[in-house]
Amino acid sequence: MSSRTLAALLAAILLLAGPARAQLTIEIIGGGANQIPIAVLPFAGESMLPQSITEIIEQDLSRSGRFRAIFVGGVNTPPTEIAQVDFPEWKSRLADAMVIGQAQRLPDGKLEVRFRLLDVLKQSQIGGIAFTFTAAQTRLTAHKIADFIYEKMTGERGVFSTRIAYIVKQGPRYELRVADADGQNAQSILISSEPIMSPAWAPDGARMAYVSFQNKKPILFVQSLSASKQPAPVANYRGSNSAPAWSPDGKQLAAVLTKDGTSQIYLMSPDGGNLRRLTVSQAIDTEPFFTPDGQSIYFTSDRGGSPQIYRMPASGGEPVRMTFEGDYNVSPRVSPDGKILAYISRVNGRFQLMAMDLESKQIQTLTDGLRDESPSFAPNGRIILYATDIDDRGVLAAVSSDGRFRQRLGIQAADVREPSWGPFLGN
Amino acid sequence: MKKALFSALTVALLYGCASTPVETEKPAAPGAEPAQGLPVSPPLAAPGQPAAQIDLSKRSVFYDYDKYDIKDEYRPVLQAHGKYLAENRGKKMLIQGNCDERGSREYNIALGQRRAEGVRRMLVLMGATEKQVEPVSLGEEKPRCSDHSEGCWSQNRRSDMLYSGEY
């Protein structure tokens, strides 16, 4: 290694150790197949923006595992129009696609960015749009451009502009945080000296259900993300109140209460009203999760002697057992297209993320961790976020639902756990 | 009522039974006697006998992995608390069920609840009323011990009995 490379590497490490302390940092493990080589050129005039838009776009695309960023150094004047593009040059750099654009300040003080996504081989424009935004929306705008590029190139909706929620434990302090899907721009929704668990996004992306132990027992809350303080509980019955799950239309909340004995699943309005019991067993019934069509609920039950996953009609009725391999299968989550069941299975003492194809019932092991838990699908179903630990510290990790591509997101000196991936914006 | 509990504990202390009233005992090694040096089974008091002979210093029940059945060795402890609650109807108790860190957090809430519920049932059998005891679960969220080893896990698989004023 040359001294120059070493110096650059050290500089990079120092950068990570500095201001990133409170942010999630991302480490990509493994690579995906058939990555699209793309050149994201600097946008003319973007140096006046608070952050480099093209850097964020490039990072988003690379992190998805579907793209490979092409080196864009050595370009003197970044092209802004298709006529200015030296296509043979980019073809020789092995780019299939490229992004050009420009940023400017509008007379009213707002910012504008125009960009074009180009097909290098056909020397033609695939698409392009303009965004008007405020300085505070720079990151979001970059994520939206990355979403546009992702969708044009893969045919699937991008999730870069979506948000994630997770719990951070730092010493005696628990925090419910919401951040951009890349872990940046984190905001605290709730800070407590008692545990917080099971955050669940409402389908409208504006509210969050969670469990708080501030009264020395699990109590269920639904909080608006714009609220400045914790609202009144939606379920605070005798015993424990936990495991919230939203119906896809956002009109119902499934949760687990113990007011009538063992842990049973109940349905209620998001304000806690109209309570009715859904499961009737002497067993543990917990971890409800609605199917995307709202017709069924998956849940964990030990009614057969060990915790296994079952499915039942959301209106009540006879459950059907879904898992048969192993003696500990928990935490069911159904993919947004309803085709995959992700869950955690104990295999030889290790807790691993599994994916079951619901049609063929084929099971794939997606992770090889020791304590993997709390899976959460990205709204496009492409990635599953989950909690794992490295060197005794909780971190978040993501795996593509085909198991090929993995990455880790961690915060130094803190435990990060229980990720919940929010819905698409504008849904 | 608080006074009554205090005097009961003081008597227990005078008898040399415990270090501090609210301290919970260490988990018993497998197969070992639950509480060496402590009077394991206080004789059931005859009607009218003062509560002072009940040893309330032990507050915890420990479990095997994935299990919630109460081992016989904890019966005397639960008997003492059930009797105390029966004789002190104004006293209330929170039973907190706990689990080790392995497995799903929400499933562990349910498992911890079952552990606490088992203690509640036993206390009611021993004379407490439903109104006096509330079983709740802390799952794996409030571990007493945080190492990733059986030494720690066995301490965390536990139900704790707390009287009002202690939580």
- Whether residue B44 is predicted with pLDDT greater than 70 in this model: the reply is no
> Which residues of chain A carry a pLDDT beneath 50?
1-21, 427
Q: Does B152 touch chain A (CB under 8 A)?
A: no
Q: Which of A278, A269, A272, A189 is nearest to A236 (CA)?
A: A272
Query: Would residue B17 count as lying in a domain?
Result: no
Domain contains B158? yes
Provide the domain limits for residue B108. Answer: 56-167
Distance (Å) from the alpha carbon of A240 to chain B's nearest alpha carbon: 5
Q: Is the pLDDT of residue B152 over 70?
A: yes
Is the pLDDT at B100 greater than 50, yes or no?
yes
Say if residue A271 is exposed, middle or buried (CB neighbours under 10 Å; 0-12, 13-18, 19+): exposed
- Residue pLDDT, tens place only, A219-230: 999 999 988 777
Q: Which of B102, B113, B167 sits opposite A240 (nearest CB)?
A: B113
In this predicted complex, what is the ipTM?
0.90
Q: What pLDDT is recorded for position A32?
A: 57
* B88: nearest Cα among B29, B3, B13, B150: B3
Residues from chain B that touch A242, judged by Cβ atoms under 8 A, are: 106, 109, 137
pLDDT of residue A229: 76
CATH number at residue B95: 3.30.1330.60
* pLDDT band, residue B6 (cuts 50/70/90): very low
Percent of chain B at pLDDT > 70 equals 68
| Residue B32 domain-assigned (yes or no) | no
Angle subtended at Cα A196 by Cα A162 and Cα A270, rounded to the nearest 5 degrees:
65
Provide the number of structural domains found in chain B. Answer: 1
CATH of A163-421 given 1.20.58.340, 2.120.10.30, 3.40.50.2300, 3.20.20.190 = 2.120.10.30
Q: How far apart (Å, rounded) are the C-alpha atoms in residues A77 and B40?
A: 86
Task: Name chain A contacts of B96, Cβ cutoff 8 Å.
Answer: 216-217
Which sequence spans correspond to the domains of chain A?
33-154, 163-421
Q: Is pLDDT above 90 for B140?
A: yes
pLDDT, residue A84, reads: 95
State pLDDT tens for residues B61-76.
999 999 999 999 999 9
CB pairs < 8 Å spanning A and B: 100
Whether B108 is in a domain gets the answer yes
Tell me which chain A residues have a C-beta less than 8 angstroms from the C-beta of B135. Answer: 239, 258
Q: What is the mean pLDDT of residues B118-133?
A: 96
- Mean pLDDT value across residues B99-117: 97
Q: How far apart are alpha carbons A38 and A36 in whole angstroms?
A: 6
Find which of A193, A237, A263, A348 to mutate to test the B interface (most B CBs within 10 Å of its CB). Answer: A263
A217, B109: Cβ pair inside 8 Å?
no
Domain A33-154 in CATH 3.40.50.300: no
CB contact under 8 A, A239 and B113: yes
Residue pLDDT, tens place only, A338-374: 999 999 999 999 999 999 999 999 999 999 989 999 9
- Residues on chain A bordering chain B, Cβ-to-Cβ distance under 8 angstroms: 195, 197-198, 211, 213, 216-218, 238-240, 242-243, 256, 258, 261-263, 284, 286-287, 300, 307, 328, 330-331, 344, 346, 351, 371, 373-374, 392, 418
- Would you say residue B63 lies in a domain? yes
- Among chain A residues, the shortest Cα distance to B162 is held by A216
Q: Which pLDDT does position B37 carry in this prediction?
A: 35
- Rounded to a whole number of angstroms, the distance from the CA of A281 to the nearest CA of chain B is 13
What per-residue confidence (pLDDT) applies to A25? Answer: 62
Is residue B90 in a domain?
A: yes
Residue B36 has pLDDT above 50, yes or no: no
Q: Is residue B34, in this structure, part of any structural domain at all? A: no
